Structure 1
Amino acid sequence: MYRLSIGVLFVIITTCFCDVDFSDRARNFSIELIHFTQLETNGHVVISPLGIWTLMTGVALGATRDSYKQLIRAFILPRNKDELIEGYKKLTNTVLTSRTKGVSLTSKNYVFLDNDFMVYPQFRHIVQEDFGAIVKVFDFDNPNAAAKKANSYIKKFGSGVVANVLKSEDFAESRMLITNVISFKGLWSSPFNKSETRRQPFYNEDMEKIGEVNMMYQVAPFPFSNYADIKAYILELPYGNDNKYSMLVILPHIHVKLADVYQNFAKVTLKDLQQKLVDDIDIWDLSDVEVQLPRFKISTNVVLNKPLNNMGVFDIFEPDLASFEKVTSEDIFVSAVIHKADIDVTESGTVASGSTIASIQDRTLPPKFTANRPFLYFIIERTTTTVIFGGVYSQPTVY
């Protein structure tokens, strides 16, 4: 029995420097995926829901029977293949096409095949033409050479700054590797002043001090809201010059745990959060907010098998149950879905960041948004509310 290993790498880089109905499918699983992933990482995590969704959509194109049905349900994909492909193209084109000054966003898919592993021509055509993947054949019996060649292609066709995505061990027991590499660089529309950054305490959900952070500070007009339905405060920090990309930072109310906020997302969507911000601007106008946000860096390396199990995806990981009849005549299964991501948040910009503790006063005074306890953050493409990166900040470090 051969194993199909699907490797995933998501890289977020920060430098110093449409309305598309299909987007509902890409964004609606994002919060659930972040929730189950943070359970595997002690609640401190960054992931790319868009990158994972992109990769698993490609996997679904080759799956059949219950393997296909489980992926369709978990990732909210249309059952019709043509509708899936067309919707995928429209959404990714909208999200990834950027003329935003100060923002760079790239995403590329790769399929690496062992030289004696035969895939059906139709599947190869789909991943190349419709999925936009670079397809290359290597000798997996020489894993060191295969990894070197694969990384060379990733660097050549990707952002040019991503290196050593795949390791030799990724090829050792695999027949095929499907990889998505996604990179986001964003400069804040309103950057923080480094001279204002101060070392301050950071607390857990019970307001007990657990460490310190370098807290960035500024006062500027930002969309801000106290959203009672999810028991949290919301702050939106835009990137670039055209409001296409932004970060939503979600801070639970005092004595409200992140788990409770997650539960409230069962009845509230990210679009609802955006609308609440718009409604509050209509009432209060866009006014100054006193923002304190940690400068931080997070790296995540996690196997997503268990989080995907929690979302109802089982069969693709089981040798006796996996069905990939559109890929090959061989018996294959997914050994692991591996997710790697990095996030770097500084005064000039970010890849993903968030944090908050909020105290709101009368609107005649600037409300305070102080990120000194665990919080959620989402980097989104605003017209589709697609989550490009998201995560949880809960373990403070002085960065």
Structure 2
Amino acid sequence: GGEKRRRNLRKRGQRLSQSQRRQSHPNYRTRPLRSKRNPEEFDLASHQRFLQNFLLQDVTTASPFAAFPSFSAERSNQFQQDRLLEDTIEHNFYLSETETVKVPYKIYNTILKYAYIERLQSTVLELELDSDDYMLIIILPDYEFGLSNLMKLLQIGDNVPNLRDIVKQMTPSWVKTIVPKFNLKGNIILTSDLQNMGINDIFEPARADFTPMTEDPLIYAKHIEQSININIRTQSLQQLKRFTSLYKNPIELAINYPFLFCILDKEMDLALITGRILNPLNSRIH
């Protein structure tokens, strides 16, 4: 017991003498402690690299359609470093093999529900809308002009998952993406569709019954029209402070060519609207 105590005292004395020599020697360097990086700092750096890849395409990278003889778009815009911290950017949207338009994009660097559907050769993302009662599903084909093939697969329906199955396959993932801003406004006449579904009584004066809504027995519907107004909710850049340690490898993609969208009612688990975005600058519903 005494020997062990003496050894401990000698070690303590050696450590004290080393500490005194360090303090007395002016050129003695101590090894700095490695500062712990905060998740949001890591996210900001990767976010800037992600955006730079897209922004520099307009300055240094040839268009994917440059091989076509009729494509002669000149890239005259200059890269601006301060754009890396914005939550919106201007970027090309490829309408066709020979046409592009500059459209505003919203930047997402956050946790989104994501799935890749092999049978459809498409990526599926869920985005928030202005109302919490609905959600927006974007279906992006693998190839720039694969929308026609995607539509064909959906129409054939052979071994193709339905929308409910697609939603079930979606899981929360770290996603870095740019989504074109689009504002869809329009009115759709639903009369013919409802009649084809067998809903006819409300359109016939002698059979229509609107007593839960009015006491007038003569009320009936001539036609039913649906008004649509779709906006994507803006997301903040820094949304990964609590999630960085959980999601190591972000999924990076650019939604910069035609895609499908679907508006789902969360409570009823029902598709309300489906359509195509062929040009984000066009608010007409396709």
Larger Rg: 2
Q: TM-score, normalised by structure 1?
A: 0.36
How does the TM-score come out when normalised to structure 2? 0.48
Higher relative contact order (CA 8 A, sep 6+): 1
